[in-house]
Amino acid sequence: MDNLKPLKIIKIGGNVIDDAAALSSFLNLFSSIEGPKILVHGGGKSATALAQQTGLEVQMVDGRRITDAATLELITMVYAGKINKTIVAQLQALDCNALGFTGADANTITSIKRPVSSIDYGFVGDVKNVETSILEVLLNQGVSPVFCAITHDDNGQLLNTNADTIASELAIAFATKFNVELYYCFEKKGVLKNINDDDSVLQTITKSSYKKLLDAQLIFSGMLPKLNNCFHALDHKVSKVCIGKPEMLLDSKAIFTTLTIL
């Protein structure tokens, strides 16, 4: 894969979205990264704040938001409107030619509405297909796509979709054409051995060491979906997956978690 062009796919979430100063600092860093790059952002807490303001009841089951029609409309406004366009405008000011996307835009990410089993998650989509052709044209023009966590079913329905999954599915879809590096940025330095000790970073997790950590129940449960996404990407030709603070993107001395197959 060494002769493929590099492509960095970077996902931000949590505190990096909610704190204006942290976001601004991240965007400075993102804009200074050379070469083709894609940003994927989560929603942060704005959606919950607007829900409270409009009197919309937030329904959670097992820590997951239930997306009824009113909630979908609200997150479409917050994710694709407020957050996405704020990021795009700030990147333009930093001379980074950003272009905002949902999965409906240029038909880039199609999902299937999650089937109802014991829980009806509502308008939540699981990624079915990623269409890279228009994105590739844009990357070759120096444009940086900025994705929010919304996809569509190609039948007119927008769907709420996990941002970590969007990042890993984009990475997988591009992995035959680019040398893809996938970065999950959040407020911790990486995957921690001890959730109460920010310096207990596991600097390398291999597929076999991950199994051992799982068996010993040493991984904080909140990290499991993210780590499963990471290994899923590595299993599909993504060359590198890292988890940590945004600094890992540029600071050669930064400590973070790198996931590898071997």
- Residues at the contact surface with its own copies, assessed by CB under 8 A: 50, 53-55, 73, 76-82, 84-86, 88-90, 92-93, 97-102, 104-107, 133-134, 137-138, 141, 143, 150, 152, 154-158
Q: In the complex, what is the shortest distance from the CB of residue 61 to its own copies, in angstroms, rounded to a whole number? A: 25
Select 18 or 187, whichever has its Cβ closest to its own copies. Answer: 18
Q: In the complex, what is the shortest distance from the CB of residue 100 to its own copies, in angstroms, rounded to a whole number? A: 5
Select 153 or 247, whichever has its Cβ closest to its own copies. Answer: 153
Q: In the complex, what is the shortest distance from the CB of residue 108 to its own copies, in angstroms, rounded to a whole number? A: 9
C-beta separation of 67 from 123 below 8 A: yes
Select 109 or 241, whichever has its Cβ closest to its own copies. Answer: 109
Token pair for residue 232?
Answer: 């899923």
Q: In the complex, what is the shortest distance from the CB of residue 110 to its own copies, in angstroms, rounded to a whole number? A: 9
CA angle 181, 20, 12 (to 5 degrees): 20
CB neighbour burial string for 217-238, b if at least 16 within 10 angstroms, e if fewer? eebeeebeebbebbbbbbeeeb
Q: What is the CB neighbour count within 10 angstroms for residue 142?
A: 10
Provide the 3-class DSSP secondary structure of residue 113: strand
Select 108 or 168, whichever has its Cβ closest to its own copies. Answer: 108
Select 48 or 86, whichever has its Cβ closest to its own copies. Answer: 86
Burial of 124 (0-12, 13-18, 19+ CB in 10 A): buried
Token pair for residue 60?
Answer: 């959670």
The residues, any chain, with a CB within 8 Å of residue 247's CB and separated by 6 or more, are 29, 254
Q: In the complex, what is the shortest distance from the CB of residue 112 to its own copies, in angstroms, rounded to a whole number? A: 15
